[in-house]
Amino acid sequence: MKRIALVTGASRGLGATIARLFADRGYDLVLSARTEPDLERLADELRSSRVTVITRHGDIADPFTRHTLIDAARYLGGLDVLVNNASELGGLAPLTDVDPLKLERLLRVNVIAPLQLTRAALPLLAERAGLVVNISSDAAQGAYAGWGAYGASKAGLDLASRTLAAEVAPALVGVVLVDPGDLRTRMHQEAFPGQDISDRPLPGITLPFWEWLLDQPPAAISGRRFKAQEARQQWLVEA
């Protein structure tokens, strides 16, 4: 049976790296992002691996966008892995200075959207004992000055994901959190405008982790939080 994965925020950076790995492993793909040209270039590249790639452009906070993604997965035949990678930084500022509308936007994109997409995907995932991967951040635990709004959204996603893992266990669907660590990506550059971030590794440094993760039975790792840049032996330790 052909394996199928859905990756949000897939047009560049970590999302594109994960999508390429899925294609290398023979997965058919549903990819989403807001930036259409970048996403289409990636899709054309991956189709050369002789996998089917369906793209959907739009804001992941929009219910219609999420609906189109689930429809695309259903068209391909189901869903084995959902990677909720799309997120927003929302700018850095002290919590007392954060615009409430910006905070609401962060919560919609970084917490509500992945939970609602997961909810819609559960019937498909349950048919294949699939896996949900929610991308977290060290900001969820670090309490870094200026990062409070983003960190709060990721902390909320952390707790919701652990709770969800317990709730969907009877369906044999796994839910895990992954902190990819500091990476040389556009979002990380947005956090440090005008600064040189060339000392940060490219997203490809996390590939050994993703290779390992995809070989694990989803039910056996469900509820855990992983750090993708840790040594392999640490992934085997209960988070």
Q: Which residues are catalytic?
A: 150
Phi-psi region of 201 (alpha: psi -120 to 50; beta: other; left: phi over 0): beta
**Cβ atoms of 183 and 200 closer than 8 Å:** yes
Q: Locate 75 and state its tokens.
A: 């068209």
Q: What separation in angstroms does the CA of 130 have from each of 17, 29, 33, 35, 127?
A: 20, 15, 22, 28, 8
Rounded to whole angstroms, how far apart are CA atoms 182 and 229? Answer: 9
Rounded to whole angstroms, how far apart are CA atoms 26 and 29? Answer: 9
Q: Locate 165 and state its tokens.
A: 């893992």
Closest CA to 234 of 213, 203, 219, 217: 213
